[in-house]
Structure 1
Amino acid sequence: MNLQLRSQFTIHNSQLKLSGSKSETNRLLLLQALYPNIVLGNSSDSDDSEVMTKALQSNDEVKDIHHAGTAMRFLTAFYAIQEGKETILTGSSRMKERPIKILVEALRQLDADIEYVEKDGFPPLRIIGKKITKNKVTLKADVSSQYVSALLLIAPKLENGLELTLEGEITSVPYIKMTLALLNEIGVKTSFEGNTITVFHVKTVEPKVITVESDWSSASYWYSLVALSEIGTEITLSSYKQNSLQGDSALVEIYKDFGVETVFEQHQIHLRKVGHCQLSIVNYQLNGSPDIAQTIAVTCFGLGIGCHLTGLHTLKIKETDRLEALKNELTKLGAHVSVTNDSLTLKPSTEIKENIAIKTYQDHRMAMAFAPLALKVSILIEDAEVVSKSYTNFWEDLKNIGFTVDAV
């Protein structure tokens, strides 16, 4: 499905309720499978969370998690400790290109029984669950934090807990802290000192109801819309916390540079355009929140300013190579972009070409990051249904605030 987007209006105080955080939901779904008396509220309705739920509830030996990278990492660890159960974890053709060797090697350090079904270092995997008594593991820290979180989530169920040593510079620390905070919330004792994380064994936890905060990554597209709108534009989003566990809540500070004010009030955030960007180029280190890089790059292009974004090495192994994808699509619109293995640089420019078709590369964030440009020019989003991976109602929400969204 391809969608043509147009908008010729000023947004005035629109209100939207966004689905629960995919990152929090998927961690809690796994913890719920380990400790069934946990009850979740405001869970994500994303494809990734549905895939995670289906895999955990299914008795099938083969689990197909499609494009869901989080599910692949978390479930690899989960099935490694399901004693006596054999599981084949597979996914889409792109998933079979996404490396998982670092996590598999870490689990093997603990004596997990995992084999590669096809290509060494990549899914699909054959996992035979067993009781794990070893409790010390070392992992490279400069790769996806999901490898770290996968180990931490199963750690309280290991007979002797887990002592995890991270080697090198730690990537996406906020996501690791999110995992530890959720473990603490259900009653698991943890410590994170220097490069060592310790999680203690807990056989059972007290019954607990946990309400998932709405997704800050999804909020980023509305921040971009407000930034690209006229002064006075307002959008209210719920449900959000000022002391969020999510790294992408860095949006609050970053978008001040683009004239967007955030006010927290009763689990809502009020976004308001209060001024213009006074900078010709902005610089952000996004090691802790790489998922908002696409949104920021498109916002800067739409405002005619440049940006230099660093800390983006994990974007090379997402649903697509997001750095190359951004370069390709921004260039089609008239931008001047260069990328390295961990950075993106956009030069200031004032031209935005109209009626350009944006390729999404089976990546939900490509579709949503480019949508706000419809405030400036008419654009076409190819394969627009990919948004369901994290934000099922995105196009409906755009229509509800007044965008013209036509299938073509």
Structure 2
Amino acid sequence: MHITLQKSIIAKQSSIQITGSKSESNRLLLLKALYPELSLNNVSNSDDSNLMTHALTTDSGLVDINHAGTAMRFLTAYFSVQEGREVTLTGSKRMKERPIKVLVEALRELGADISYVENEGFPPIKIKGKRLTKHKVALKANVSSQYISALLLIASKLENGIELTLEGEITSVPYIKMTLSLLEEIGIESSFNGNIITVKPGVKNQQPKTLTVESDWSSASYYYSIAAISEIGTEITLSSYKENSLQGDSVLADIYKHFGVSSVFNNNSVTLKKEFSNVEPLTLNLKNAPDIAQTITVTCFALGIPCDLTGLHTLKIKETDRLVALKNEIEKLGGNIEITDKSLHLSASNTIKEMVSIETYHDHRMGMAFAPLALKTPIIIEDAMVVSKSYPTFWNDLESIGFKITK
């Protein structure tokens, strides 16, 4: 379904309740499957988390996780330790092009029984669950943090825990720390010293415990963009958010100061306030928060601010090659952008073409990142319901603050 966003002016003051973090939800859903004594509140209503919930209850047979990359990685590890269960894990055409070899080799090193069904190094994969007794494994440190988190999440169910050595410069550290913090919250001991992460075997009798998932900071990024592009004095309140968040994308609060947006935390909410305008160039290394690169790029384009973003090497293996997708769509809008395999360089531009049709490439973040441009010019978003992957109510929430949308 395509939608048209007319040129819009939003309310001076508005508020939005955003669903639980997909990153936290998927980690906690896996931990709840390992430790049924846990209860969860504010779980994400995203497609990815719904797929994760469904897959975790599958005893055997085919498990299709469609476009859900996080689920593919986490479930590969999860089913490896499910003794007596045998599954074939598959996904969409794009998922079958996304590498899984690094994780499979690490799990095999620990003793897992995993084989490739079609192409070596890629899904679908066949997994025969068994008890894993080995505990030492090494991974290149610059791989997707989801590979690392997948191993850490099952570590407490390994007979001897895990000692994971990361080789080289570590990327996406906040996501690794998020995983370790959630383990700690349910009583599982771990340490992260230098390049070695250790997780002890889990407690035999887990106590009943309720955990509340913080709302998703990646989803908040689109409102930071909206606030930045809006008139001075605009305020948007989002809940439920913590100032000392575990989520890597919470760096938004610092980054968007550059665009004149302040973040005021109060109880479980954050209020974004547009306080001044700024056209100074922006230079950022986003190696610890690559998922907000699209949002930041579109914000800069909308405001005519040049930017240099680095640390983006993982964007090439996401739902689409996000660097190529950004270049294609921003150039259609009249912008000038250069990309490498790990960076992008946007030139300042004072004109934005009207009624350009933005392709989303089966990527939820493409649809949401470009939506704030409607504050500057009418825009069409193709395959708009792709947003349900992480934020199903996105278009309704935009309408509630004043965006004019026709379907």
Q: In which range does the TM-score fall when normalised by the shorter chain?
A: over 0.9
Cα shift at 1:171:
1.3
Distance in 2 (alpha carbons) for counterparts of 1:114 and 1:122: 12
| 1:223 Cα deviation after fit | 0.3
Report matched runs for 1:68-79 at 5 Å.
68-79=68-79
Q: Which residue of 2 aligns with 1:253?
A: 254
- 1:43-122 equivalent positions in 2, closer than 5 A: 43-122=43-122
> Given residue 220 of structure 1, which amino acid in structure 2 is its aligned partner?
S
CA–CA distance in 2 between the matches of 1:8 and 1:369? 16
Name the structure 2 match of 1:240: 241
CA distance, structure 1, for counterparts of residue 8 and residue 386 of structure 2: 25
Contact 1:238 1:268 in 2 (8 A): yes
Deviation of 1:13 (Å): 1.2
Whole-Å separation in 1 of the counterparts to 2:177 and 2:319: 24
Partner of residue 297, structure 1: 297
Matches within 5 A, 1:194-205: 194-202=194-202, 203-205=204-206
Give distance in 2, aligned partners of 1:6 and 1:286: 31
Give 3-state SS (helix, strand or coil) of 2:156's partner. helix
Aligned to 1:214: 215
Question: Offset at 1:204?
Answer: 3.4
Equivalent position of 1:164 in the other structure: 164
2:18 alignment partner in structure 1: 18
TM-score (structure 2 length as normaliser): 0.99
In the TM superposition, what whole-angstrom CA distance separates every residue of 1:281-308 from its partner, at most 9, and x where no partner exists?
1001101100000000000000001100
Conserved? CA contact 1:7–1:402, under 8 Å: no
Distance between the aligned counterparts of 1:352 and 1:212, measured in 2? 38
- Secondary structure in 1 aligned to 2:153? helix
How far apart are the structure 2 equivalents of 1:291 and 1:284? 13
Give, in whole Å, the separation in 1 of the partners of 2:154 and 2:330: 41
The question of 1:326 aligning with 2:350 is answered: no
Q: Which residue of structure 1 lines up, in the alignment, with residue 358 of structure 2? A: 358
AA aligned to 1:264 is: F
Between Structure 1 and Structure 2, how many residues are aligned?
Answer: 406
Asked whether the 8 Å contact 2:10–2:403 carries over to 1, the reply is no
Amino acid of the structure 2 residue aligned with 1:92: S
Does the 8 Å contact 2:279/2:303 carry over to 1?
Answer: no
Query: 2:263 matched to which residue of 1?
Result: 262
Query: By how many angstroms is 1:6 displaced?
Result: 1.7
Contact map agreement 1:3 1:406 (CA 8 A) in 2: yes
User: For residue 396 of structure 1, what is the aligned residue in structure 2?
Assistant: 396
Residue 60 of structure 1: CA displacement?
A: 4.2
- Name the Cα RMSD after superposition: 0.7
Distance 2:112 2:346 in 1: 45
- Work out the CA distance in 1 between the residues paired with 2:15 and 2:383: 27
| SS of alignment partner, residue 330 of structure 2 | helix
Mapped partners of 2:76, 2:21: distance in 1: 21
Gapped runs of 5+ residues in structure 1?
Answer: none
User: Residues 373-402 of structure 1: CA distance to partner in whole angstroms, max 9, x if unpaired?
Assistant: 000000000000000000010000011111
**CA distance, structure 1, for counterparts of residue 11 and residue 263 of structure 2:** 16
Structure 1 residues 162-199: Cα deviation after superposition (integer angstroms, max 9, x where no partner) = 00000111110000000000000000000000000000
Distance 1:347 1:206 in 2: 55
TM-score, structure 1 normalization: 0.99
Contact 1:35/1:204 (8 A) holds in 2: no
Asked if structure 1 preserves the Cα contact closer than 8 Å seen for 2:297 and 2:307, the reply is: yes
The one-letter code matched in structure 1 to 2:231 is E
Contact 1:114–1:125 under 8 Å retained in 2: yes
Q: Is the 8 A contact 2:74 2:146 kept in 1?
A: yes
**Cα deviation digits, residues 310-353 of structure 1 (max 9, x gap):** 10000000000000000000000011101111101000110100
The 2-side partners of 1:345 and 1:308 are apart by 5
Once residues 395 and 311 of structure 1 are traced to their aligned partners in structure 2, the CA distance between those partners, rounded to angstroms, is 30
Q: Which residue of the partner structure matches residue 138 of structure 2?
A: 138
Q: Give SS of 1:251's match.
A: helix
Q: Match of 1:166, SS?
A: strand
1:7 partner SS = coil
Matches of 1:28 and 1:9, distance apart in 2? 38
Aligned partners of 2:218 and 2:206: how far apart in 1?
30
User: 1:8 Cα shift?
Assistant: 3.3
